[in-house]
Copies of this chain bind each other. A is one copy, B any other.
Amino acid sequence: MVKIGLPVPPGFTITTQACRSFLSSGTIPAGLYDQVDASLAELEKITGKEFGNPKNPLLVSVRSGAKFSMPGMMETVLNVGITPAVAESLATLSGDPIFAWETYRRFIDMYGRTVSEVPPAEFRKIEQRVLASHGVETIQELDVDGLKVLSDAYIKENEALTGKPFPTDPREHRRKSIEAVFHSWNSERAQIYRRRERIPSDLGTAVNIQSMVFGNLSDDSGTGVAFTRNPATGEIGNYGDYLERAQGEDVVAGIRTPISLSAFGDKYPKVYGELDKTMSLLEGHYRDLCDIEFTVEKGKLWILQTRVGKRTAEAAFRIATQLIDEGKITIDEALARTSGDQLSQLMFPQFDLSLPTQEIARGIPASPGAAVGEVVFDSRRAFEMAKNGKKVILVRKETSPDDLVGMVAAEGILTSRGGKTSHAAVVARGMGKTAVCGTESISVDERALLFTAGGLTVYEGEIISIDGASGIVYLGAVPVIASAVTSYLEGRLSAESTSASALVKAVDRLLTHADSVRRLQVRANADTPEDAIRARILGAEGIGLCRTEHMFLGPRRAYVERLVLAENEKVQRGVIAEMEPLQRADFVGIMMAMSGHPVTVRLLDPALHEFLPPLAELTAKMARAEALGEEVSARDKSIFDAVNRMHESNPMLGLRGVRLGILIPELYKMQVRALVHADMDVDFPIGTMIETPRAAITADRLVSYADFFSFGTNDLTQLTWAFSRDDVESTFLPRYLDLELIPFNPFESLDQAGVGILLQTAVDHARRVKPDIKLGVCGEHGGDPLSIHYFNNLGLDYVSCSPYRVPVARLESGRAMVTQGAHNN
Q: How far is the CB of A775 from chain B (nearest CB, A)?
A: 20
CA of A650 to CA of B718 in the docked complex: distance in angstroms? 10
Q: Does A2 contact B (CB under 8 A)?
A: no
Main secondary structure of the interface of A (DSSP, over half): helix
Residue of B620, B691, B757 near A623 (CB, 8 A) is: B620
**Which of these, B659, B692, B697, B732, contacts A662 with CB under 8 Å?**
B732
Contact pick for A724, options B615, B628, B653, B694, CB 8 Å: B653
Partner of A652, one of B615, B650, B663: B650
Cα(A268)–Cα(B40), bound, Å: 118
Complex: how many Å from CA A620 to CA B731? 25
State whether the Cβ of A487 lies closer than 8 Å to any Cβ in chain B: no
Please tell me if the beta carbons of A694 and B720 are within 8 angstroms of each other in the complex.
Answer: yes
Copies of this chain in the oligomer: 2
A718 touching B653, Cβ below 8 Å: yes
A448 contacts B by Cβ under 8 Å: no
Interface: A758 (CB within 8 A): yes
Residues of chain B lying within 8 A (CB to CB) of residue A121? none
Residues of B within 8 A of A623 (CB): 619-621, 623-624, 627
Contact with B along A608-630 (1 / 0, CB 8 A): 00000001100111111111100
Interface presence of A753 (CB below 8 A): yes
The distance from the CB of A794 to the nearest CB of chain B, in whole angstroms, is 16
Using known A-B contacts A616-B619, A757-B697, determine if residue A732 contacts B650 with beta carbons closer than 8 Å. Answer: no
Task: Scan residues 405-427 of chain A and give those whose CB is less than 8 A from a CB of chain B.
Answer: none
Of residues 750 to 764 in A, which have CB atoms within 8 Å of B's CB atoms? 751, 753-755, 757-758
In chain A, positions 681-705 with a C-beta closer than 8 Å to chain B are: 691-694, 697-698
Considering only CB atoms, which chain B residue lies closest to A736 in the complex?
B662
For A741, list chain B residues within 8 Å (CB).
Answer: 662
Per the bound structure, the CA–CA distance linking A659 and B723 in Å amounts to 10
8 A Cβ contacts from A703-729 to B: 715, 718-724, 726-728
Q: Contacts A662-B741, A732-B659, A735-B662 hold; do A652 and B622 have CB atoms under 8 A apart?
A: no
CB pair A653 B655 closer than 8 Å:
no
Is the C-beta of A46 less than 8 angstroms from some C-beta in chain B? no
Within 8 Å CB of A754, what residues of B?
693-694, 697-698
Interface assignment of A648: CB less than 8 Å from any CB of chain B: yes
Residue A574 interfacial (CB < 8 Å): no
Instruction: Judge whether A731 and B650 touch: CB under 8 Å.
Output: no
Pick from B652, B693, B736: contact of A653, CB below 8 A: B652
Partner of A654 from B654, B724, B758 at Cβ < 8 Å: B724
A739 at the interface (CB under 8 A from B): yes
Any B CB within 8 A of the CB of A649:
yes
Residues of B within 8 A of A659 (CB): 731-732, 736
A648 with B727: CB separation less than 8 A: yes
Interchain CA distance A335-B723 in the complex, whole Å: 45
Tell me if A726 and B650 are in contact (CB < 8 A): yes
Asked whether B719 lies within 8 Å of A722 as measured between CB atoms, the reply is yes
A554 CB-CB contact with B under 8 Å: no
Q: How far is the CB of A718 from chain B (nearest CB, A)?
A: 6
- Per-residue 0/1 for A633-672: is the Cβ within 8 Å of any B Cβ (1 yes, 0 no)? 0000000000000101111111110010011000000000
Q: CB distance B650 to A651 under 8 Å?
A: yes
Chain B CB within 10 A, most for which of A619, A628, A694, A720 = A694
Whether A720 and B697, one on each chain, are in contact in the complex, defined by CB atoms closer than 8 angstroms, is yes
- CA of A473 to CA of B724 in the docked complex: distance in angstroms? 40
Q: Per-position contact with B for A580-599: 1 when CB-CB < 8 Å, else 0?
A: 00000000000000000000
B663 touches A722 (CB 8 A): no
| Cα separation A724 to B722 with both chains bound (whole Å) | 12
Q: List 15 A-B contacts (CB under 8 A).
A: A619-B620, A623-B624, A624-B624, A625-B627, A627-B627, A649-B651, A650-B724, A650-B726, A652-B652, A652-B724, A653-B723, A654-B724, A659-B736, A691-B722, A693-B693
Pairs A-B, 4 closest by C-beta atoms: A653-B724, A620-B623, A650-B724, A624-B627
Q: Which residues of A contact B (CB under 8 A)?
A: 615-616, 619-628, 646, 648-656, 659, 662-663, 691-694, 697-698, 715, 718-724, 726-728, 731-732, 735-736, 739, 741, 751, 753-755, 757-758
Task: For the A-B complex with A620-B620, A653-B727 known, give 15 more contacts whose Cβ atoms are closer than 8 Å.
Answer: A615-B616, A620-B622, A648-B724, A649-B724, A649-B727, A650-B653, A653-B724, A662-B735, A662-B736, A692-B721, A693-B754, A694-B751, A694-B755, A719-B720, A719-B722
